[in-house]
Amino acid sequence: MARLYDPLFRLVFEPRHRLAIRLLAPRPGDRVLDVGVGTGISLSHYPKSTYVVGVDLSEAMLGVAARKVRRRGIGHVSLCRMDACRLAFPAGAFDLVLSAFVASVVSDRAGFFHQLKRVCRPGGTICVINHVHFHAQPLAWLEEHVQPLTRRLGWHADLSLEEIVESLRPGEVTVDALWPIEPWPIVICRRSAPP
């Protein structure tokens, strides 16, 4: 998928990345973790005053992202191969954590959300963008009938917005969308700072 990812998905996904980064409101010096960075669609939208680490399980996707980083001279970004369910960073290592379109493809969803919270410092912010299960007919009916195929491809269409929100708590959780009926909401969790 690495060579086809941008032509197939960039026009739909990039506006969500841009809005998510704006909502995260990175400040100079912030350490940002981009979990599931893929082909690097998000990377040119981070301020140069931040330090960004992008991780992904796919070597091919990271190869595309690395070429973009070199071609565009993005010097504040590091890329590395890593499993989103087993992040090799210390607790609280990042001020901001973004994960876009990953929760539906991980092998351990509970472990994935645990890792996002673990590596985000108290008082930091986590952002998750993901497809959520349709509740309204006829799209819910269609989605349920294509699930056997999507599961074979490694994509689970059964994630609900409520599950994302509950998995990110404790913290103040808000949901933003680009459209009135949004299948890819942007969920922001501002983690409580220690007293």
CA 9 vs CA 2, 16, 59, 170: distances in Å: 11, 11, 19, 32
In a domain, 154, yes or no: yes
In a domain, 118, yes or no: yes
pLDDT digits (tens, 9 = 90+) for 43-64: 999 999 999 999 999 999 999 9
Is 46 within 8 Å of 32 (Cβ atoms)? Answer: yes
- Residue 45 is part of a domain; what is its CATH number? 3.40.50.150
Question: Can you give the pTM of this predicted structure?
Answer: 0.86
In a domain, 87, yes or no: yes
In a domain, 156, yes or no: yes
In a domain, 165, yes or no: yes
Residue-number span of the structural domain to which 51 is assigned: 2-190
Residues in the chain with pLDDT values less than 70: 133-157, 178-182, 195
pLDDT digits (tens, 9 = 90+) for 152-163: 555 566 778 888
**Taking each helix axis from N to C terminus, what angle separates 109-119 and 161-168, rounded to the nearest 10 degrees?**
40
Query: In the chain, how many domains are there?
Result: 1
Q: What is the pLDDT of residue 11?
A: 78
Cα torsion angle, 7, 9, 12, 16, sign: negative
In a domain, 195, yes or no: no
Q: What is the pLDDT of residue 155?
A: 52
Helix (H) or strand (E) holding 77: strand 77-81
